[in-house]
Amino acid sequence: MARSGTDARIERGNQTRRTILHRAVGIASVEGLEGLSLGRLASELNLSKSGVFDLFGSKEELQLATVRAAVKVFIEHVVQPARDAPAGLGRLERLCHNWLVYSAQRVFPGGCFFYSVTAEYDARQGKVHDAVASAHGNWFSLVEQMVDQAKETGEVRTATDSPQLAFELVALLEMANAESVLHGNFSCYARAADGIISRLRSVATDPSALPDTLELEPPVPADPRA
């Protein structure tokens, strides 16, 4: 019985931690990681401040846990569905598609979590900067890796500069996110999709294997502020 009671307390603690981090990633995507505080989260979620402090210990630890939680969400929505596709140009296309839908559907209320916090922490130093920089670097590395895989399958020309192509694809994705969040302009996702397909066609060994555009399903929403 004692062990069962202990297990129940651990599960309640884990559930409370998940609830806090779910709220924290939402806040940080809009207001930045500096917008987080143990007291604010305790108040908004009707929890004791001491209980929240026991789970995280400090604002910095809360920020680091928030970055880790956001990485898990990003992998779930963007990375893993692409990895389920066979290696090659189709997987790279799927990765870009997933990213556009993830941003457009506001998986995080402020658009791409990492676009927001990278701008916040790019010129800072410390553990939170390092965690954000690591997540951002891993994303670029993943895109480049998928380009290399497509070269290995013979679907992308071997002379293609993988880092350059990865840079251009990410730039199109992030610009769509920035325009949409700043201006409430959701048509920019279609523009980014057209640009991505055009760029992929330019390096494909068989351009006809690619669709005319990336079909953004579920459909991109209308401007919620309209």
**Per-residue pLDDT, 1:** 45
Q: Tell me the CATH number at 136.
A: 1.10.357.10
> How many residues are recorded in the chain?
226
**Per-residue pLDDT, 192:** 97
Q: How far is CA 104 from the centre of its chain?
A: 12
- Exposure on the CB side of residue 78, measured as CA atoms within 13 A: 25
Number of domains present in the structure of the chain: 1
The answer on pLDDT for 149 being more than 90 is yes
**Per-residue pLDDT, 214:** 85
Tokens matching residue 3: 């062990």
User: How deeply is 81 buried, as exposed, middle or buried, from its count of CB atoms within 10 A (0-12, 13-18, 19+)?
Assistant: middle
d(CA 96, CA 167): 12
pLDDT digits (tens, 9 = 90+) for 46-96: 999 999 999 999 999 999 999 999 999 999 999 999 999 999 999 999 999
Name the band, by pLDDT with cuts 50, 70 and 90, for residue 217. confident
Domain assignment present for residue 178? The answer is: yes
Domain assignment present for residue 221? The answer is: no
Domain assignment present for residue 115? The answer is: yes
Lowest mean pLDDT among 2-6, 85-89, 156-160, 193-197: 2-6
Domain that holds residue 80: 67-209
User: How deeply is 46 buried, as exposed, middle or buried, from its count of CB atoms within 10 A (0-12, 13-18, 19+)?
Assistant: exposed
**Per-residue pLDDT, 198:** 97
Domain assignment present for residue 60? The answer is: no
pLDDT digits (tens, 9 = 90+) for 11-59: 887 899 999 999 999 999 999 999 999 999 999 999 999 999 999 999 9
Name the band, by pLDDT with cuts 50, 70 and 90, for residue 221. low
Name the band, by pLDDT with cuts 50, 70 and 90, for residue 106. very high
Whose CA is closest to 33, among 68, 8, 84, 74?
68
Name the band, by pLDDT with cuts 50, 70 and 90, for residue 114. very high
Domain assignment present for residue 54? The answer is: no
**Per-residue pLDDT, 226:** 42
- Exposure on the CB side of residue 135, measured as CA atoms within 13 A: 27
Nearby residues of 168 by Cβ (< 8 Å), 6 or more positions away: 199
Is 83:56 a contact under the CB 8 Å cutoff?
A: no
Longest dimension (CA), the chain: 65
Tokens matching residue 38: 């143990």
Helix/strand/coil for 204: strand
**Per-residue pLDDT, 3:** 57
Domain assignment present for residue 14? The answer is: no
Domain assignment present for residue 28? The answer is: no
**Per-residue pLDDT, 4:** 65
Domain assignment present for residue 217? The answer is: no
